[in-house]
Amino acid sequence: MEIVMAFVCGFLFMAAMYLILSRSLLRIIIGTGLLSHGAHLLILTMGSFGGSAPPVLADGVTDYVDPLPQALILTAIVISFGVTAFFLVLAYRAYHELKTDDMTLMKGSEHDE
Amino acid sequence: MNNFLLLPIIIPFFFGMILMFGQKNISYQRVTSLVGLLISIVCAFLLLLNVYENGPQVVTFGDWPVPFGITMVADSISSLLVLTTLTLAFFIVWYGFKSIGKEREQFFYYPGVMFIITGVNGAFTTGDIFNLFVFFEVLLMSSYLLIVLGGEKAQLRESIKYILVNVLSSAFFVITVAFLYSVVGTLNMADISIKIAELNQPGILTVIAVLFLLVFGMKAAIFPLYFWLPSAYAAPPIPVLALFGALLTKVGVYAIMRTYTLFFTHDLAYTHELLLILSVITILAGCIGALAHFDVKQIIIYNIVIAVGVILFGVAQMNEVALEGAMFYLIHDMIIKAALFMLIGIVIYVTGTTNLRKMGGLMKTYPALGWFYIIAAFGLAGVPPLSGFVGKLLIVQGGFEAGNLWSSVFILASSIAVLLSVIRIFIYAFWGEQGTISPNVNPSTYKGLFIPTMLLVFISVAYGVGTEWITPFMDHAAKMLIDPSIYTDAVMKGGE
């Protein structure tokens, strides 16, 4: 199972890198979304898939899943939500002000006298 | 009372929260943020004395035993850095009164500064690797706010790049923590250090060490990863630039210092050799940038890159002398970079341009500014009575002791390039024919900018002249860095 997940994470990272290296700002933000999905899936995988019951105390269950990676992922998810929301609004504002979403056109020409 | 070490984090956080209210009332914002920073400075100073007398202070949240809860650790390294951070923030906020502009002051500038201080202090004092990630995000999120606040075209353009780079490096940080967790099964830094020593650092941990160098190197702007820094730092206004230049890259440097002295000390031939090579190329790249530009902001920004290289060169030697030098140089560099950014901010204010070729003759109209600038410039280059000398001396001495003859000579030679780059600003801006002068220079604004800058330059001079008083603290810090068992013993014992 870990092997399959490793390949899935690898594919997500590959797709994310491809999108981040593209020219359109929106594709870059989609890339960062995929990148954080890959990172979160990787934390889950690296915690290993031992255990059979969800980490909630219940009678007669002894074999729990490792609860620590799940807490880490939850923290990382809300942080990346916050950053992505900020980034999207920034992209919207930049599109209004700079009149382009093409990263290759966003150069510092008017300030380098 | 052990919870005392949390005060330098909690007080700025609390003041940041109450500053969110009454955002239109500028005098309330100004007074409250200065009061908050003053109280935090007093607390940080008392914490430093406490750590010096009683050894590292440890607190684990919620009375959990050590590896299971989140631990905060204040040793002499952390408390020195926390005190420096708060002092610089105080002067930069004061400087900002006259230069940041009313619109920004009314739109959450001061809460942003308070939260960035919270993040930086938290990153310096945490003893948990995932908690370090969270504090990194706290300071990065506030830095996103500060870099884009005002919404000028250049700011919007550069903050997109800045955020993208930091989102990438944060994702790498999460991935690296995941790898480390799967190998050692713990997140507490002291516990990780013990577990790595038990495993004797197999190959996978060397890979993780290099990944950490990639993550923190992106924050700290080391050689192949510094590409984002020059344009991103040129965008925000001067007080924000001073805050970033003095604090943000240094958090990355501190994180490299911590991980490479506490965790990855068993395969020095690979990891520290890599750090050595990268730091030398970082210095080279910084020197080229600093000498190539005719823009005053860019010259000082490339000097950040040089200083990062010098500090990491000290860390790469892994002997006590060089680590003590690295600590000296780290604190010196935070102070002097803030002072230099504030000085060139005044130069830009009175001339109305950042282009060196258009400036000239300021010595006649602003002699005091010229003298303070030259003191700061000599301090940066490391002329003996001033602050940069003893750090670089110890780093080079440590380099010779470790047998790295040529690279140590190179560090010495790089000082000449640093001196040349900052003296060039002096020659162009203060000597020669009268250049452009901004038409609306207000004497009271000038005074408001000049007084905090002057005090900060005095502090940097006092740091250089009063080295004898600071040395015991630095000795403590260097002992802690060279011998991880002092740190791990203090943390493991502290939780019981």
Residues B177, A43: C-beta atoms closer than 8 Å: yes
Q: Which of A39, A87, A94 sits opposite B175 (nearest CB)?
A: A39
Closest by Cα among B320, B269, B309 to B481: B320
Return the residue of B nearest to A48 by Cα. Answer: B182
CA pair distance B121, B7, nearest whole angstrom: 10
pTM of the model as a whole: 0.94
Band (pLDDT 50/70/90 cuts) for residue A112 is: very low
Confidence category of residue A109, pLDDT binned at 50, 70, 90: low
Comparison of pLDDT for B400 and A110, the residue scoring more: B400
Range of the domain at B442: 267-465
Of the listed ranges A2-11, A52-61, B204-213, B376-385, the least confidently predicted one is A52-61
Is the Cβ pair B153, A110 closer than 8 Å? yes
* Cβ count near B472 (within 10 Å): 11
Q: What pLDDT shows up at residue B95?
A: 95
Taking CB atoms and an 8 Å cutoff, what residues of chain A touch B231? 108
A94 contacts B156? CB cut-off 8 A: yes
Nearest beta carbon to residue B160 from set A40, A47, A90: A90
Q: Which residues of chain B neighbour A28 with C-beta distances below 8 Å?
A: 164
pLDDT band at A110 (very low <50, low <70, confident <90, very high): low
3-state SS class at A24: strand
Structure tokens at B357: 């070729």
Partners of residue A39 in chain B, C-beta under 8 Å: 171, 174-175, 178
| 3-state SS string for chain B | CHHHHHHHHHHHHHHHHHHCCCCCCHHHHHHHHHHHHHHHHHHHHHHHHHHHHHCCEEEEHHHCCHHHCCEEEECHHHHHHHHHHHHHHHHHHHHHHHHCCHHHHCCCHHHHHHHHHHHHHHHHHECEHHHHHHHHHHHHHHHHHHHHCCCCHHHHHHHHHHHHHHHHHHHHHHHHHHHHHHHHCCCEHHHHHHHHHHHCCCHHHHHHHHHHHHHHHHHHCCHHHCCCHHHHHHCCCHHHHHHHHHHHHHHHHHHHHHHHHHCCCCCHHHHHHHHHHHHHHHHHHHHHHHHHCCEHHHHHHHHHHHHHHHHHHHHHHCCHHHHHHHHHHHHHHHHHHHHHHHHHHHHHHHHCCCEHHHCCCHHHHCHHHHHHHHHHHHHHHCCCCCCHHHHHHHHHHHHHHCCCHHHHHHHHHHHHHHHHHHHHHHHHHHCCCCCCCCCCCCHHHHHHHHHHHHHHHHHHHHHHHCHHHHHHHHHHHHHHHHCHHHHHHHHHHHCC
- Which residues in chain B have their CB less than 8 angstroms from residue A94's CB? 156-157, 160
Architecture of domain A2-49+66-99: Orthogonal Bundle (1.10)
Is B286 inside a domain boundary?
Answer: yes
Q: Which of B202, B199, B205 shows the shortest CA–CA distance to B179?
A: B205
Domain total of chain B: 1
Q: What is the pLDDT of residue A60?
A: 83
pLDDT in the model for residue A113: 40
B contact test, residue of A49, A90, A95, A98 with most B CBs within 10 A? A90
pLDDT band at A1 (very low <50, low <70, confident <90, very high): confident
How far apart CA A2 and CA B401 sit, in angstroms, is 47
- Check CB contact under 8 Å for A90 and B159: yes
User: Which among B148, B181, B295 has CB closest to A47?
Assistant: B181
Nearest neighbour of B157 by CB, restricted to A36, A43, A98 = A98
> What residues pair up with B355 in beta bridges, in sequence order?
B295
DSSP state of A64: B
Q: What is the mean pLDDT of each run of 10 residues along chain B (496 residues)?
A: 86 95 92 95 95 90 87 93 96 93 91 96 95 96 94 91 95 95 93 92 92 94 92 93 94 95 91 94 95 93 95 93 94 95 94 90 91 94 90 95 92 93 93 84 90 95 92 91 91 69
Whether the per-residue pLDDT at A107 is higher than 80: the answer is no
Read off the tokens for B31: 């007074």
Which tokens in the block code for residue B463? 């740091």
Of A32, A40, A93, the CB nearest to B167: A32
Would you state the pLDDT for residue B438?
Answer: 83
User: How far is A59 from chain B, CA to nearest CA, in Å?
Assistant: 24
Q: Which of A56-60, A69-73, B177-181, B318-322 has the lowest mean pLDDT?
A: A56-60
Whether residues B160 and A72 touch (CB distance < 8 A) is answered with no
Confidence of residue A108 (pLDDT cuts 50, 70, 90): low
Sign of CA dihedral B15, B17, B19, B22: negative
Nearest of A51, A48, A17, A50 to residue A31 by alpha carbon: A17
The predicted structure's pLDDT at residue B109: 94
Among A13, A87, A109, the residue to mutate for chain B (most B Cβ within 10 A): A87
User: How close A60 gets to chain B, by Cα (Å)?
Assistant: 25
Nearest beta carbon to residue A90 from set B130, B137, B163: B163
A43: which chain B residues are within 8 Å (Cβ-Cβ)?
174, 177-178, 181
